[in-house]
C-alpha cells in the first residue's frame, strides 16, 4: 500500500452539523480518513467547500436534501451554479416516509433535475437518500444517470434484496452504517450485495455510537462489524473498502 492510502472511509457524514466541525475536519486529515462531507442545501455549500479546499481527505458534496426540497426549492438555481465546482453531489434523493409524502412532487422534480444536470456534466459521484422510495430512486437512476455518465452511492439503503440487485445492475455502490448492521435483516441485505460495491459511512451526527454522535473515526466500529459479517479480519476488510473507494473514484 502506498503511504498516501487512506485508513478509514466515511462516505456520508454531515460534518457541518457538528459543533466541533473544524476540529473534525483536521482529524479526518490527520487520520487520513477519506470523508464525504455531504451538505443539505446549496446555500451552505460555498462555506463548507472553503473549509475543506486545502484538505486531501475531505471531499465536500453539493446537496439538496429531499426533506428540505419544499422549503429550499428556490436553491435549485444555486445547485446548478455550483455544480461545476465539485465532483461530489449529496445529500440528494427522495423520502416517502411519514411527514414527507406531501412534498414528493417537488422532491421528484428536484431529484430528476439533479440527475439530469449530473448526466450532462458527467463524472459526478452522488450520495443518494432513498427512504421508503428505493424502487423509484433506482428506476430514476437507471433512466437518467446510467453508469457511464456518473456514479451513485445509495446511502443507508433499506430496500429489498431484489431492489439491491437492481441497484447493483445499474452500477450503484452502497454506503453502510452501524445501524444497518445491528439488525438481522440489515446484515442479510448487506451480505446479498457484492462486497466490491460496499463502502462505509457514519451518517453523523444522526447516528450515535454509544452516547455520542458518530464521527468519522468511529467508522472503525462499523468496519469491525462488516469484518465479522464477511468472516474476514479487520485489515482485509479495510483494504477491501479502500479498493472499492479507489474503483469508485477512478
Catalog residues that contact Mn ion under the rule CB under 5 A: 203
d(CA 115, CA 190): 25
Q: Which is nearer to Mn ion, 93 or 240 (CB)?
A: 93
Q: How far is the CB of 41 from Mn ion (least distance, A)?
A: 13
Q: How far is the CB of 36 from Mn ion (least distance, A)?
A: 10
C-alpha cell belonging to residue 111:
431529484
Q: Which is nearer to Mn ion, 141 or 240 (CB)?
A: 141
Q: Which is nearer to Mn ion, 44 or 232 (CB)?
A: 44
Q: How far is the CB of 201 from Mn ion (least distance, A)?
A: 8
Q: How far is the CB of 171 from Mn ion (least distance, A)?
A: 21
Q: How far is the CB of 71 from Mn ion (least distance, A)?
A: 17
- What is the CA 51 to chain-centroid distance, rounded? 19
Q: Which is nearer to Mn ion, 75 or 203 (CB)?
A: 203
C-alpha cell belonging to residue 165:
440487485
> 79: closest CA among 124, 122, 113, 29?
113
- Kindly compute the dihedral angle of the four CA atoms of residues 208, 211, 217, 219, in this order, to the nearest 10 degrees: -40
Q: Which is nearer to Mn ion, 133 or 240 (CB)?
A: 133
d(CA 90, CA 41): 9
Q: How far is the CB of 204 from Mn ion (least distance, A)?
A: 9
C-alpha cell belonging to residue 235:
485489515
Strand partners, 59: 36
> 250: closest CA among 170, 168, 153, 151?
151
List all residues 6 or more positions away from 83 whose beta carbon is below 8 Å from its beta carbon.
62, 89, 117, 118, 121, 124
Q: CA gyration radius for the chain?
A: 17
Q: Which is nearer to Mn ion, 16 or 203 (CB)?
A: 203
Amino acid at each position: 500500500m502506498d503511504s498516501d492510502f487512506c485508513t478509514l472511509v466515511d462516505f456520508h457524514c454531515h460534518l457541518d452539523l457538528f459543533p466541533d466541525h473544524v476540529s473534525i475536519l483536521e482529524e479526518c486529515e490527520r487520520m487520513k480518513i477519506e470523508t464525504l462531507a455531504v451538505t443539505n442545501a446549496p446555500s451552505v455549500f460555498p462555506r463548507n467547500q472553503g473549509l475543506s479546499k486545502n484538505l486531501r481527505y475531505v471531499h465536500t458534496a453539493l446537496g439538496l436534501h429531499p426533506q428540505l426540497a419544499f422549503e429550499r426549492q428556490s436553491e435549485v438555481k444555486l445547485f446548478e451554479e455550483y455544480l461545476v465546482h465539485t465532483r461530489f453531489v449529496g445529500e440528494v434523493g427522495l423520502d416517502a416516509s411519514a411527514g414527507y409524502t406531501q412534498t414528493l412532487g417537488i422532491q421528484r422534480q428536484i431529484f430528476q433535475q439533479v440527475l439530469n444536470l449530473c448526466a450532462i456534466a458527467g463524472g459526478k459521484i452522488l450520495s443518494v437518500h432513498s427512504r421508503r422510495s428505493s424502487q423509484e430512486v433506482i428506476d430514476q437512476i437507471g433512466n437518467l444517470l446510467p453508469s457511464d455518465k456518473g456514479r451513485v452511492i445509495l446511502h443507508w439503503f433499506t430496500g429489498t434484496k431484489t431492489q439491491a440487485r437492481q441497484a447493483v445492475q445499474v452500477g450503484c455502490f452502497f454506503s453502510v452504517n452501524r445501524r444497518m448492521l445491528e439488525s438481522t435483516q440489515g446484515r442479510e441485505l448487506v451480505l446479498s450485495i457484492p462486497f466490491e460495491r460496499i463502502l462505509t459511512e457514519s451518517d453523523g451526527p444522526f447516528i450515535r455510537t454509544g452516547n455520542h454522535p458518530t464521527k468519522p473515526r468511529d467508522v472503525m466500529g462499523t468496519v469491525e462489524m462488516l469484518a465479522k459479517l464477511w468472516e474476514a479480519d479487520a485489515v482485509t476488510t479495510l483494504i477491501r473498502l479502500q479498493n472499492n473507494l479507489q474503483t469508485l473514484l477512478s
